[in-house]
Amino acid sequence: MSALPKAVQETIAGWLSSGAIEVFIGYERGSVPLRATPVFVRRPEDVTRLIWDASCENNLVAFLSKLRGKKVGLMVKGCDSRAVVGLLQEGQVIRENLRLVGVNCPGVVDPKKVAAKLAVNVDDLEDAHLNGAQTLLMGGQCMAIGEVIYDLCRDCVHHNPALSDLQMGEAIADPAADPYEHVREIESLSTEERWARFEREVQHCNLCYACRNACPLCYCNTCFADRTMPRWFSQTAQPEDVQFFQTIRTFHLSGRCVGCGACTRACPQGVNLRSLLDKLRLDVLELYNYEAGSDPNARPPLTTYREDDYNGFVI
């Protein structure tokens, strides 16, 4: 675990002391190996608890919907900062009320990958720890962190924050790779093959709603999944209920999902929700030349109209 640089700690403490923010949301050492935990710092003297390393996977922007109207500071990775942009576009947060510490992120550790590489159960990673920015140690064995980051981090092309008040760390060169290669592979399948793949993927979902709760853009006061009048579906493991929830949630994020992957990382069943959301992200990019989270001043494509908009779906 790596404490924040002294200068960064002093800046955050200054924000708290001056009243520029009421709380700073960051990461501190967690009780589970290779997983930092979110921490809410309200006193300047507590900034020493804050850390940053490859175990800091949570998208802290998800907490902003619970702190509407408050002056908040938080740490944002490249993907997280794009979620802030999305909330700004939708009028959910006020820029003047935010203080953002941007961290350049090469990727965060996937404990399941570490366990698989060591041929142990993920619950047996008790002495696994990070040793600097590049090395992970356990039981005398070491490995490069780059070998065990999440797949979505490996494919990420936004390692540097799009928005910040204070930048931490050296900028990371974003790769020129196609982030939608996995989507294009699915698009090459027949309609029947794609449906079969969708069924296989979501059959593991048990409707725990961890994906919804982790998503910074799922901020409705009452989610459609919780409504009783009308009740859209039942919270069961039946295929029709699971498929309905995942389909509606995915389309609700059309033109809004920033690809942070918080939902996929949060899923206890390992459902690859990213494949569903990235398909719609690619559609929006190709049809409207729009990428969510890239420009605070842009209007989301489904909230505006241009004469040259694609209308091929109109009957």
Peptide bond into 216 cis (omega under 30): no
pLDDT given for residue 118 in this prediction: 84
Model confidence at 71: pLDDT above 90: yes
At 58, the amino acid letter reads: N
On the 0-12 / 13-18 / 19+ scale of CB atoms within 10 A, 206 is: middle
Residue 121's Cβ-side half-sphere holds a number of Cα atoms within 13 Å equal to 2
Return the exposure string of 174-189: e unless at least 16 CB atoms fall within 10 Å of the residue's CB, then b: eeeeebbebbeebeee
pLDDT tens by residue, 154-165: 888 889 998 999
* Reported pTM: 0.90
The token duo for 262 is 């918080």
pLDDT tens by residue, 206-263: 999 999 999 999 999 889 988 888 888 888 888 999 999 999 999 999 999 999 999 9
Contact 213, 262 (CB under 8 A): no
The token duo for 220 is 């409705």
Model confidence at 281: pLDDT above 90: yes
